[in-house]
Amino acid sequence: MDLTIIVPTYNEGPNVVELLARIGAVMGERDFEVLFVDDSTDDTPAIVRAAAAASPFPVRMLHRAEPIAGLGGAVVEGFRHAQSRWCLVMDGDLQHPPETIPALLERAEAGGVDVVIASRYASGGTSKGLADATRTAVSRASTLLTKAMFPRKLHGCSDPMTGFFLIDREGFDVEALRPRGFKILLEVLARRQLRTAEVPFNFAERHAGASKASFRQGVRFLTQLTMLRFGRMSAFALVGGFGAIVNLVIMWGLIRLGVEYVVAAVIASELTIIGNFLLLEYLVFADMRSESGRMRHRFVQSFLFNNLEAVIRIPIMWMLVESTNIPSVLAAALTLVAAFVVRFVFHALVVYAPKRTTVVAVTPDRPAVGVRAEP
């Protein structure tokens, strides 16, 4: 097989038939398969199954009953189950016109590239289908920010956030990807220097249904950028630093309200511990949540650890000050740094350790496959 067309879908029922018809019309005699990776909560799977049965070319669907990592996770699942070396990723709402596919294939066949990117921003392309001026501005600004953060890897790539691209699976390591949110191409390009080429395309209006983009996706995207650029440990440090400031502000506020300073410190610390946990959950370790058991367990582990840490750290600081001549602030800083490293290791390896496997059903012509999301 020459090509697997991976289509992530979330409630895209009304678009399926039209999408397959237009793909079929442009692919002609080529050998290819379409693989829907579906997280829908509506009747989309039934529509895909019916369309697959009637289709002149192979159409498969992988329905994820318990979706992991949203759109990005769906595309990674697609890469894992694709039968071809070359994979084309495109949206299921026809904003990515199938009529652009032949140009992408021709560019790949000309050789010398690992990924051919369909770009809204290359000359000849347009982004008119973006819903409104706000989304256009957000898209432009985030593209600039992203390119500034990866000047070398994204050199010559005008649209690293596009969801429409043709990629050689041998050019990258699927298992090294840590998809968060919508931007899977960025995840691939930021990890390894790939040889890229671009083909302009006209980003169309949605055929039917509604967009799933949201403010929340935007926050995920910023976290993704931070993590790709600086690593999980920096995101963790950012949250820790932010927490330290919030801690002091709460303490100051309570003292002003007349609360005794030790009591204020204890209340501020407990509130910060809870706040930090929530930030870790939804930002730093968001991609690992679904595999690491119950949130309640993680909270108890994190809460106990942070309290234990304070109980151990403060006497150590006191011993340092008493037995050597270093200033107390320096001693406090040293214990904080040591505690930070231990806290990071504990959260990454214990609190967010993968705890279960997920089953993914593959239809119509394959049995259920057990997929471990992470080793």
Ligand X SMILES: Nc1nc2c(ncn2[C@@H]2O[C@H](COP(=O)(O)OP(=O)(O)O)[C@@H](O)[C@H]2O)c(=O)[nH]1
> Would you tell me which residues interact with ligand X (CB under 6 A)?
8-10, 12, 37-39, 67, 70-71, 74, 91-93, 95, 163, 211-213
Under rule CB under 5 A, how many of the chain's residues touch Mg ion? Answer: 3
Instruction: Choose between 91 and 198: whose C-beta lies nearer to ligand X.
Output: 91
Instruction: Choose between 70 and 125: whose C-beta lies nearer to ligand X.
Output: 70
- Pick one of Mg ion, ligand X, none as the site partner of residue 9 (Cβ within 5 to 8 A by kind): ligand X
Residue 145 identity (one-letter amino acid): L
Output the smallest distance, CB 346 to Mg ion, in A.
40
SS3 content of the chain, % helix, strand, coil (to 5): 55, 15, 30
DSSP helix/strand/coil, 9: strand
Q: CA 122 → CA 104, 135, 152, 167, distances in Å?
A: 14, 18, 18, 18
- Pick one of Mg ion, ligand X, none as the site partner of residue 147 (Cβ within 5 to 8 A by kind): none
- Pick one of Mg ion, ligand X, none as the site partner of residue 285 (Cβ within 5 to 8 A by kind): none
Q: Choose among 273, 291, 272: nearest CA to 352.
A: 291
DSSP helix/strand/coil, 202: strand
Instruction: Choose between 38 and 187: whose C-beta lies nearer to ligand X.
Output: 38
Instruction: Sort strands 32-38 and 59-63 into parallel, antiparallel or unpaired.
Output: parallel
Q: Under the criterion CB under 5 A, does residue 15 sit at the interface with Mg ion?
A: no
DSSP alpha helix (H) spans, 69-155: 70-81, 101-109, 133-149
Q: What distance in Å separates the CA atoms of residue 286 and residue 138, rounded to the nearest whole number? A: 22
Output the smallest distance, CB 95 to Mg ion, in A.
4
Instruction: Choose between 163 and 240: whose C-beta lies nearer to ligand X.
Output: 163
- Pick one of Mg ion, ligand X, none as the site partner of residue 37 (Cβ within 5 to 8 A by kind): ligand X
- Pick one of Mg ion, ligand X, none as the site partner of residue 74 (Cβ within 5 to 8 A by kind): ligand X
Q: What distance in Å separates the CA atoms of residue 139 and residue 85, rounded to the nearest whole number? A: 30
Q: CA 204 → CA 130, 217, 375, distances in Å?
A: 8, 21, 39
Q: What distance in Å separates the CA atoms of residue 249 and residue 10, rounded to the nearest whole number? A: 42
Candidates 93, 159, 198, 309; binder of Mg ion (CB under 5 A) is 93
DSSP alpha helix (H) spans, the chain: 13-27, 44-54, 70-81, 101-109, 133-149, 184-191, 215-256, 261-279, 295-323, 328-346
Output the smallest distance, CB 157 to Mg ion, in A.
20
Output the smallest distance, CB 250 to Mg ion, in A.
42
Instruction: Choose between 133 and 349: whose C-beta lies nearer to ligand X.
Output: 133
Output the smallest distance, CB 368 to Mg ion, in A.
29
Output the smallest distance, CB 129 to ligand X, in A.
8
- Pick one of Mg ion, ligand X, none as the site partner of residue 71 (Cβ within 5 to 8 A by kind): ligand X
Output the smallest distance, CB 122 to ligand X, in A.
18
Q: For 130-146, b where at least 16 C-beta lie within 10 A, e where not — what string? A: beeeeeeebbeebbeeb
Output the smallest distance, CB 221 to ligand X, in A.
11
Burial class (CB in 10 A: 0-12, 13-18, 19+), 269: middle
Residue 134 identity (one-letter amino acid): T
Q: Under the criterion CB under 5 A, does residue 95 sit at the interface with Mg ion?
A: yes
Residue 338 identity (one-letter amino acid): A
Instruction: Choose between 251 and 288: whose C-beta lies nearer to ligand X.
Output: 288
Instruction: Choose between 209 and 243: whose C-beta lies nearer to Mg ion.
Output: 209
Selected range binding Mg ion among 86-94, 131-139, 242-250, 344-352, rule: CB under 5 A: 86-94
Q: Under the criterion CB under 5 A, does residue 12 sit at the interface with Mg ion?
A: no
- Pick one of ligand X, Mg ion, none as the site partner of residue 10 (Cβ within 5 to 8 A by kind): ligand X
Instruction: Choose between 22 and 313: whose C-beta lies nearer to ligand X.
Output: 22
Q: CA 259 → CA 77, 247, 255, 302, distances in Å?
A: 53, 15, 5, 27
Check if the beta carbon of residue 2 is closer than 8 Å to that of residue 33.
no
Output the smallest distance, CB 356 to ligand X, in A.
20
For Mg ion, the binding residues (CB under 5 A) are 91, 93, 95
